[in-house]
Amino acid sequence: MEKKKKRIFLLLPELNKEIKISSLSSCQIYSKKYDGYVLLNVYEHYRQYMNSENATRLALDILEGFDELWYSGAFGITEPMYYLIKKAKQLNLPIKDLQPINPKESFSLAYKFAMEYHPCNEQNDEYWKNLVQSLGKYSENNNPLNNCLLKAIFDYYEEIYKNLTPKISAKDHFNQEFKTGLSFTMWALKNNAIFNDGIDPKKVSKNPTPMLKALISGIQEYYQEYQRNLKANKLKNEKVI
């Protein structure tokens, strides 16, 4: 007798059309990856026919019929996501974040990439071939913060290659830059900081190095989309929930 598949309430953030970072897997992709489960993106289905308040309310009503709730925290927890996760906890449903954002892990991965392809090495054709191939492997989990940091490092190394910024010594291991970038990212996420005019590197460090500026550009690219998504998905009338 075939084992009954668990029914998963799949909760993906309703990304604003202006979001430029395509690092969010769709319901179809997750369904292929977890073919031993039945994944249903209920909220997204309802949003095709009604506003976010009504979609949230109806999704809450049927949540009890599911075995687990899986969500993606890649672009923050929007208000509809917050209420659905809260209800799942009240129902004691198992909850899993499919795309958690962990700044420590992201900066650790980015640092490993930065050192593996340190620009003190000869930036010849073989160097760039290996770097591009490796970039794909480093980005394979499709984490948006990882991808933004990796792209920023790649762009910085390309500027060195084109003599648009000074070359650096093999003794420069970027330790302080990555520590500063990590601390700033954790502070911004914890305090839900708003940067209407972008992130000024000189407000992060008195003397930002080119690598720190590169990291901040990556942080800014991710964080602006994160904030835009949270703002775009605020409920206009929470009393109906």
Q: Is 61 exposed, middle or buried (0-12, 13-18, 19+ CB in 10 A)?
A: exposed
Question: Tokens in use for 59?
Answer: 């999704």
Residue type, 59: A
237 pLDDT above the threshold of 80 = no
- How do residues 66-124 score in pLDDT, each as one tens digit? 999 999 888 889 999 999 999 999 999 999 999 889 999 999 999 999 999 999 989 99
DSSP, collapsed to helix, strand or coil, labels residue 94 as coil
Phi (first) and psi of residue 162, to 5 degrees: -90, 10
Distant-in-sequence, close-in-space partners of 180: CB < 8 Å, separation ≥ 6 = 204, 205, 212
Per-residue pLDDT of 182-198, as tens digits, reads 999 999 999 988 887 88
* Domain 6-100 fold: Rossmann fold (3.40.50)
% residues pLDDT > 70 (the chain): 92
pLDDT tens-digit series, residues 23-49 = 555 677 777 788 889 999 888 889 889
Q: Is the pLDDT of residue 141 over 90?
A: no
* Residue limits of CATH 3.40.50 in the chain: 6-100
